[in-house]
Amino acid sequence: MKTAFTKWQGCGNDFILLEDMEARLAAPGKLSKRLCDRHFGIGGDGLILLLPSDRADIRMRIFNADGSEAEMCGNGIRCFARLAFERGLVPSAAFTVETGAGVLRPEVQRKGGRVTGVRVDMGRPVLEANQIPIAGFDTRRVEEEPLEVLDRTFSVTGVSMGNPHCVIFLEDLEEFPVAKYGPVLEKHEWFPRRTNVEFAVVRDRKHIRMRVWERGAAVTMACGTGACATLVAAALTGRTNRAAEVALDGGRLFIEWAESGRVYMTGPAEMTFAGEIEI
């Protein structure tokens, strides 16, 4: 069966999007692994499905390149939101999306009739270890806790944005071997559901540089929930203000941890091409 797809990127984090408003698609994890292959498929960091919802205006599911399902994806939800709006699948530019991390609220931003980006209310970060989850800390916060991995000891701060994150601040980042330490940290026994790993350098109180090892996708150009988790961790540890620009390998996101406790992410979402594929 031939199905139309679109390919999108948000700060270089790329996704295949399929509309499945009749919820007919079977075995999406297996399909994601095949379609995301960069040599034998379309290529991407993940597969995102647009689905009907009885809890929100629309539902989003995301599957990593390895076939595993993630609770949510920050760059992915911006791409999802723009496509849903432009396809007329939602009632307005601001709407609700059911995700594995709860109901989130994106808003497609426009100027002069042109889409300039997407702002997403990402909800409140979870800081209690047992809810992230991080094993061995009960309900305490994991804030700059030492963790020995291979030949180094890292100071780890744990945050969940609906999916788990391990944030590590460094003195130097550009030459840091993310691909060496990322996979070991992802599967460390501290993290029973594995974890995304963010390596970051604070440039000043309003600017952060971050690179990421994504759970189920390896090194990627960007991670939206990771940028949110990094800003929260930086603010918690007194390194930055509660709003900052986060520079990723593929672009920049503006993250704000409002006094209400909610985190807001603003950034780009661009379609790169469209086509049909046999599924």
Confidence (pLDDT) at 1: 77
Active site residue 73: yes
Question: Any idea how long the chain is?
Answer: 279
Of the candidates 73, 79, 166, 228, the residue annotated as catalytic is: 73
Confidence (pLDDT) at 199: 98
Concatenating the DSSP letter of every residue in 85-127 gives HHTT-SSSSB--EEETTEEEEEEEEEETTEEEEEEEE--PPB-
Six token digits for residue 143: 């804030």
Who contacts 68 (Cβ-Cβ below 8 Å, separation ≥6)?
Answer: 29, 215, 216
Active site residue 166: no
Who contacts 112 (Cβ-Cβ below 8 Å, separation ≥6)?
Answer: none
Torsion sign (Cα): 90, 93, 99, 102:
negative
**Average pLDDT by consecutive 10-residue portion of the chain (279 residues)?**
93 96 90 96 96 97 96 95 97 97 96 94 97 97 97 97 97 96 98 98 98 94 97 98 98 98 97 93
Three-state DSSP class for residue 221? coil
pTM for the whole structure: 0.92
Residue-wise over 213-236: b if at least 16 C-beta within 10 A, else e?
Answer: bbbbbbebbbbbbbbbbbbbbbbb
Confidence (pLDDT) at 193: 96
Of the candidates 11, 36, 166, 223, the residue annotated as catalytic is: 223
- Rounded CA gap, 130 and 42, in Å? 38
Confidence (pLDDT) at 189: 97
Who contacts 183 (Cβ-Cβ below 8 Å, separation ≥6)?
Answer: 213, 218
Nearest to 1 by CA among 33, 25, 19: 25
